[in-house]
Amino acid sequence: MKLRLMLWLLGLLLKRAQRRKPAFRQALGEMRGLDWGIATEDLSIARHYRMSPRGIDTAPGLPVDLDLELRFADADTAVKVLRKPTQRSFLDGMMSGKVRLVGDSKDLTRLQKLLRHL
């Protein structure tokens, strides 16, 4: 339940940043959009975000056409990593097998650049 709420609130924060923060809009415009999602490995909890300069859409589930997916071993691991999303926490999670990146790591760098503006 906590992870579902966190992912829903993340969608609200992204939409708010697009409305209120020019630096966020500029960074999103430069990259021409990014489709990404967060889920547990068993896909019991999943949410995706479609971000473009025109707007941000978010919905439950993970479609197959995403640029980037962050998969976590379980909801507790996801909450722990997402509370303090540093490069170190992601790297430690990947090394221990609790975090899996599906897609290009370059897209993760682009995402981190955007999330700095929240």
CB 87 within 8 A of CB 115: no
Per-residue model confidence (pLDDT) at position 52: 92
Per-residue model confidence (pLDDT) at position 48: 97
- Supply the DSSP string of 65-83, one letter for each residue: T-SEEEEESSHHHHHHHHH
Which whole-number Å values give the CA distances from 97 to 34, 92, 100, in the listed order?
25, 9, 7
| CATH for 7 | 3.30.1050.10
pLDDT tens for residues 85-111?
Answer: 788 888 888 899 999 999 988 888 888
Phi then psi for residue 7, to 5 deg, are -70, -35
Tokens standing for 17?
């940043």
Tokens standing for 24?
């966020």
Task: Find the domain containing 91 and state its range.
Answer: 2-115
pTM of the model: 0.89
* Res 80 pLDDT > 80: yes
Beta strands in 12-113 (DSSP E): 34-40, 46-52, 55-60, 68-72, 99-103
pLDDT tens for residues 16-68?
Answer: 999 999 999 999 988 888 999 999 999 999 999 999 999 999 999 999 999 99
Structural domains in the chain (count): 1
